[in-house]
Amino acid sequence: MTEAILQIRALVRSFGALRAVDNVAFDVAAGTITGLIGPNGAGKSTLFELISGGIKPQSGEITFDGQRIDGMSPDRIFRAGLARTFQIPRPFPRMTVLENVMLAPLGQPGEHFWKNWFSAGAVARAERTARDKAMEVLGFTGLAAKASDLAGVLSGGQQKLLELARVLMIEPKLILLDEPAAGVNPALLEDIIDKIAALHARGIGFLIVEHNMDMVMRLCRPVIVLAQGKVIFQGEPETLRGDASVLDAYLGEVAA
């Protein structure tokens, strides 16, 4: 028995009459790279928004690392060790790559409320620590040479790596990646796959939404398939092809 780092139970989120996430339940076992796939409009991004706290469910429960997180703010969820990246990267384009990484909410004395409570020396020390950590994660993601470039000039693939660097500031236990391969050139994609594998080897878990089936087959065990807001398959990716409901879901997309 592997322990579940993330448990989703009876989760529902509607937009008007549309049940985008319709009574979804599954576990993500600790230390796995779990794939989440499904046709466009299946509810994958909505599910990520629910898990990371950007939107609230109408009903259901989300438990992360033994703690209920549905209803928590995105910042608290992030600091609890559950980090996400976006399908479309959202860096601050007019700030440098280093500044973008240092913006990750660390819950340390810095720009915020706590500043009034700490000495100038403590704030400066915290900033130095954040800068050192930011340079370390930029080194890992291969972006160290771009540290003082404006984030807006990075390529699509480099922006994906910047998003990854940002979430590594908190030593996450689970990282949600929304379409890490989208808009990334093949060479940089190999780089991203290597980084995910290296982080996985260090014990970090992943839940990955991805359309690139080659990447899913290489990285993800198990795979969960979502269609029209419902889980229609859970299992090893090798058994996907023979599954009639999965075939139907994707054929439906082609026919639509």
Of the candidates 113, 111, 117, the residue with the CA atom closest to the CA atom of residue 130: 111
For the segment 152-191, give every residue that binds ligand ADP (CB under 6 A): none
For ligand ADP, how many residues bind (rule: CB under 6 A)?
A: 11
Q: Does residue 63 bind Mg ion (CB under 5 A)? A: no
Three-state secondary structure call for residue 180: coil
For Mg ion, how many residues bind (rule: CB under 5 A)?
A: 2
The backbone torsions φ and ψ at residue 31, rounded to the nearest 5 degrees and listed phi first, read: 75, 10
CA distance 95 to 31: 34
Output the smallest distance, CB 44 to ligand ADP, in A.
Answer: 3
Task: Work out the number of other CB atoms within 10 angstroms of the CB of residue 193.
Answer: 17
Q: Does residue 17 bind ligand ADP (CB under 6 A)? A: no
15 binds, among Mg ion, ligand ADP, none (CB under 5 to 8 A by kind): ligand ADP
Q: Does residue 20 bind ligand ADP (CB under 6 A)? A: yes
List the alpha helices (DSSP H) in 70-147.
Answer: 74-79, 97-102, 120-141
Q: Does residue 37 bind ligand ADP (CB under 6 A)? A: no
CA distance 123 to 119: 6
Q: Does residue 45 bind ligand ADP (CB under 6 A)? A: yes
CA distance 176 to 148: 27
Which of 45, 96, 212, 228 touches Mg ion (CB under 5 A)?
Answer: 45
Q: Does residue 212 bind ligand ADP (CB under 6 A)? A: no
108 binds, among ligand ADP, Mg ion, none (CB under 5 to 8 A by kind): none
Which of 1, 17, 40, 117 touches ligand ADP (CB under 6 A)?
Answer: 40
Amino acid at 11: L
Q: Does residue 42 bind ligand ADP (CB under 6 A)? A: yes
Q: Does residue 32 bind ligand ADP (CB under 6 A)? A: no
CA distance 77 to 63: 11
40 binds, among Mg ion, ligand ADP, none (CB under 5 to 8 A by kind): ligand ADP
Output the smallest distance, CB 149 to Mg ion, in A.
Answer: 28
CA distance 129 to 17: 48
CA distance 193 to 215: 8
CB 46 within 8 A of CB 55: yes
For the segment 25-44, give every residue that binds Mg ion (CB under 5 A): 44
Chain contacts with ligand ADP (rule: CB under 6 A): 15, 18, 20, 38, 40-46
Can you give the binding site for Mg ion, defined by CB under 5 A?
44-45
